[in-house]
């Protein structure tokens, strides 16, 4: 299988997209696909460049076995659209920002993460930043669902 590359994107790259990166890495490892797929995350805003994921995101992810501690926030760049096969936004606002940044020849790669979900009807992963623990748990529920869908799609490509 050709090495596939996936970029997860949210606003500040400290809650949803690092969670999605960590979850997808773990699910790929469980499926024996870790060497076949590159995973990264980025933000559409420069609020938290260089920062580790939000401590609440890290705590909730770690409780489910996902370690986000080594990640650092970065900004999505035009070059990412050529490098990655999929650029997945957590919500419509970030989708629109990515589409505006994306060169026309790569726009087909930009989608909502929840496009791959099979158990949840939501089309967006809600931002938990201003909320409490239940928001971070909902993010994990949605992201796990979508990442399982991505793994299934990648298996079909083999």
Give the model confidence (pLDDT) of 31-62 as tens digits: 999 999 999 999 999 999 999 999 999 999 99
Closest CA relative to residue 28, chosen from 158, 157, 148: 148
- Average pLDDT on 128-147 reads 95
> For residue 156, what are its two tokens?
């079909």
3-state secondary structure of 5: strand
Q: How far apart are the C-alpha atoms of 126 and 93, rounded to whole Å?
A: 11
Percent of the chain past pLDDT 90, that is, above it, reads 95
Of residues 10, 15, 102, 147, which has the active-site annotation? 10
Percent of the chain past pLDDT 70, that is, above it, reads 99
Q: How far apart are the C-alpha atoms of 23 and 65, rounded to whole Å?
A: 9
Catalytic, 119? Answer no
Which domain, by its residues, includes 91? 4-157
Catalytic, 25? Answer no
Of residues 25, 127, 145, 147, which has the active-site annotation? 127
Catalytic, 10? Answer yes
- Cβ neighbours of 3 (radius 10 Å): 9
- Cβ neighbours of 108 (radius 10 Å): 9
What pLDDT is recorded for position 2?
Answer: 64
Give the model confidence (pLDDT) of 67-107 as tens digits: 999 999 999 999 999 999 999 999 999 999 999 999 999 99
In the chain, the number of structural domains is 1
Q: What's the half-sphere exposure (Cβ side, CA atoms, 13 Å) at 89? A: 25
154 pLDDT band, cuts 50/70/90, is: very high
Of residues 16, 25, 74, 97, which has the active-site annotation? 16
Phi (first) and psi of residue 122, to 5 degrees: -60, 145
Q: Kindly report the average pLDDT of the chain as a whole number.
A: 96
Closest CA relative to residue 18, chosen from 27, 26, 9: 9
Closest CA relative to residue 15, chosen from 50, 55, 49: 55
Q: How far apart are the C-alpha atoms of 116 and 111, rounded to whole Å?
A: 10
**CATH number for the domain including 80?**
3.40.50.2300
Residue 132 pLDDT more than 90? no
């Amino acid at each position: 299988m050709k090495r596939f590359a996936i970029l997860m994107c949210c606003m500040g790259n400290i809650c949803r997209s690092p969670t999605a990166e960590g979850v997808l890495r773990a699910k790929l490892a469980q499926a024996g696909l870790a060497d076949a797929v590159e995973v990264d995350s980025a933000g559409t805003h420069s609020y938290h460049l260089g920062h580790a994921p939000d401590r609440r995101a890290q705590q909730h992810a770690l409780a489910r076995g996902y370690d986000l501690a080594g990640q650092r926030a970065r900004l999505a760049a035009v070059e990412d659209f050529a490098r990655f096969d999929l650029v997945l936004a957590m919500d419509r606002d970030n989708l629109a920002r990515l589409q505006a940044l994306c060169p026309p020849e790569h726009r087909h790669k930009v989608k909502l993460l929840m496009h791959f979900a099979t158990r949840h009807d939501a089309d967006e992963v809600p931002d938990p930043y201003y909320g409490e623990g239940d928001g971070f748990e909902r993010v994990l529920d949605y992201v796990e669902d979508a990442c399982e869908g991505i793994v299934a799609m990648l298996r079909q490509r083999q």
